[in-house]
A and B are shown apart, each in its own frame.
Chain A
Amino acid sequence: QSALTQPASVSGSPGQSITISCTGTSSDVGRYNFVSWYQQHPGKAPKLMIYDVSHRPSGVSNRFSGSKSGNTASLTISGLQAEDEADYYCSSYTSSSTRVFGTGTKVTVL
């Protein structure tokens, strides 16, 4: 049950696009289309941003999008805004029927 691998930090200027990667294995990310993404502001509970690789829940901005290729999933934030500054985590279902989170990425808006 090793954590999925994410970059520790990603930054961008307002209006730019950034992409956060989430690398797993053929037993989790690569096997199932059950990757989800969460945004967490300091001191707050996580919030679901993307589910099933690329689906956005109602109320989440269309500036957030998800994709997957092989064992790596990605979250793209377009038109970066100050309010997007937060920690982001990916999660995947695994072949053991457990769930696993990514190591987390701190997004900084310059």
Chain B
Amino acid sequence: EVQLVESGGGLVQPGGSLRLSCAASGFTFSSYSMTWVRQAPGRGLEWVSYISSSSSAIYYADSVKGRFTISRDNAKNSLYLQMNSLRDEDTAVYYCAREGVSPWFDPWGQGTLVTVSS
């Protein structure tokens, strides 16, 4: 069964840092691009970042560029999101998702909640 499991969320003060992880299983992780998507409480989905299978291509939403860093470890079947200089507006459930041959997302993890508050 293809599965993605996020971890690392929690409560952090504004200006702080957090590192999210996404553990993949049930498929050849090194063959797929991956994406992070977030959803603020009661709000819609927001695409955050993309990384290609070999990490050769990386893209970010303008809202996180310069503060967030996406990375992966294909040997560990894991995806990461390093979040620095966190702001109140970064509060959201963060999902990791596998990208298909073209830019669609399936499956998604269950999400991990990040709360930025003093």
Contact = CB atoms under 8 A, between A and B. Distances in A.
Interface of A: 1, 3, 34, 36, 38, 40, 45-48, 51-52, 57, 87, 89, 91-93, 96-104
B57 A97 contact: yes
Contacts of A96: 59
10 contacts: A38-B45, A45-B111, A47-B108, A48-B104, A51-B100, A51-B104, A51-B106, A91-B47, A99-B35, A99-B47
Number of chain B interface residues as a range? 20 to 34
Contacts of B104: 34, 36, 48, 51-52, 91
Given A1-B61, A1-B62, A98-B59, A48 B44 contact: no
Contacts, number: 72
B105 interface: yes
Contacts of B35: 99
Interface in B80-108: 95, 100, 102-108
Given A45-B109, A45-B110, A46-B108, A93 B45 contact: no
Contact of A100 (B47, B60, B106, B110): B47
B29 interface: no
